[in-house]
Structure 1
Amino acid sequence: MNPAAAESYRRHDLLDVAPGAWAAMLADRPDLKDVPQVADWALLRRPVILRRSHPGEGGLVPAGLPLPPRDGKRRIGLVLPPEAVRLRVPVALSATRAACPDAWDAVVAEVAALGEAHGLVPRAFGSLLWQSLTGLPYLSGTSDLDLLWPVAGAVPGGFLDGLAAIDARAPMRLDGEMLLPDGGGVNWRELHEAAPGEAVLVKHRDRLALREAGAILAGDPE
């Protein structure tokens, strides 16, 4: 993969790393030598996640991996050569049901039904995603249910009201973002609570932007 292709990655993309490139990266990171889980991460076919880029990282892929609470809950930042990584298919919420606590079953079913009613497919994020992918204990009794909601244009009418209603009665907090067609992400709760002319924060891979909530809801391009 050439560097230009690497620029097409978006926040929250999952990336598989070639084991040889992982070993080479670790050789340059003595600070990670004794950190739990890290040495065999790529050998166990565990992905990393694209993070926001920082100055000086041009030509490299900015990535990260979060450790579970028992290993310090540390968020480890990495940079990798573009030829060392490969895009992984996003993980739908439906694929993580086995990792969900029993107390979440009713809410997950409601969320899935809401998405289906509005033509949206929720993706897992946060602790649920990482526990599902790795089998490590990321979830606790205070964990949020983190979801990503990709939209192709306008946010379907009534969707955010429905999500807020589920959140209000759920035993856990529903967190996460609406993922916009241009790759930006906006917190669903902030978007729901904002007046149409009010600005909300949109996060991109390489920048932050303020946009009017009404324009986002209508699917207007940036």
Structure 2
Amino acid sequence: MADTLARHSMVKASASGWSAVMNRYPELASEPIVAGWVGAGHPLIVRRPACSDVAGMIPLGLPLPPSHGKRRIAISLATADIIASAPPPLLADAAAAAPAHWRTTIDLLLKLLPETRTFGSLAWRHLTGLPYLTEGSDLDLLWPLSAATQTETLPSAIAAIARQAPMRLDGEITGPAGGAQWRELIGNDEDEVLVKGPTGVASTTRAAFLSRAAS
């Protein structure tokens, strides 16, 4: 399963795997929300590996809500301890958890690309029911590209929506090589962009990224 888990995938851990994590990190086990996270049915998110991660383990993250310090906890699990996985939720599915004044912007985003997914505060609110959203929350999104006709125009279309949005639109346009921050894809074809892949970050040009994403 490890080879198929893209960054931002949501996974469920086994109870025994989570107990092992709590044994390895007693400082985390002392926090009730963390100790009970898996038992409550909440997911973890796949992140890029760090230098301190153990080879062969799946690097995961657990971002706590603002009421618990908004900490970003990094842990790792063995493949055998992952019992389920799924892509981050579709924006369409998470929309009901959004503030009312976000609705117009979300409708425009869904009209632009119905396959848009979300992975930040809105996603965690939708998946856990916990109070992740605040007045200053961004809307973190993933725009998947394939052979879509809007490959060249998608970044500027997102920018047009962002200019009218009541929140900051953040996130990546994603293709086979990974994801690039959408703002970096507005400009000239020779402009350099950073592509975040499963294991690291690579540099390419805007034109090269968009051409591979649409192939």
CA-to-aligned-CA distance 1:120-154 (integer Å, 9 cap, x gap): x1001110010111111111111111111111256
| 1:203 alignment partner, one of 191, 196, 199 | 196
- The alignment status of 1:180 with 2:175, answered yes or no, reads yes
Q: Which of 93-102 and 34-43 deviates more?
A: 34-43
Unmatched tracts of structure 2, length 5 or more: none
| 1:191 alignment partner, one of 185, 195, 199 | 185
Partner of 2:74: 77
Equivalent-residue separation in structure 1 for 2:105 and 2:122 (angstroms): 14
Partner of 2:140: 146
Asked if 2 retains the 8 angstrom alpha-carbon contact of 1:153 and 1:180, the reply is: no
- Number of residue pairs aligned between Structure 1 and Structure 2: 212
Q: What code does the residue aligned with 1:28 have?
A: R
- Runs of at least 4 residues off by over 6 Å: none
Equivalent-residue separation in structure 2 for 1:135 and 1:34 (angstroms): 22
* Secondary structure at 1:57 match in 2: coil
User: Equivalent residues in 2 for 1:1-222 (5 A)?
Assistant: 5-55=1-51, 56-85=53-82, 86-116=84-114, 121-153=115-147, 156-182=151-177, 184-192=178-186, 194-219=187-212
Asked if 1 retains the 8 angstrom alpha-carbon contact of 2:88 and 2:123, the reply is: no
Equivalent-residue separation in structure 2 for 1:82 and 1:103 (angstroms): 41
Equivalent-residue separation in structure 1 for 2:34 and 2:73 (angstroms): 9
* Residue 98 of structure 1, CA deviation: 1.7
Equivalent-residue separation in structure 2 for 1:156 and 1:28 (angstroms): 45
Please report the RMSD computed on the Cα atoms of aligned residues, expressed in angstroms: 1.8
> Percent sequence identity over matched residues?
39
TM-score, L = length of structure 2: 0.92
Asked if 1 retains the 8 angstrom alpha-carbon contact of 2:175 and 2:213, the reply is: no
Unmatched tracts of structure 1, length 5 or more: none
* Residue 156 of structure 1, CA deviation: 2.1
Q: What code does the residue aligned with 1:96 have?
A: A
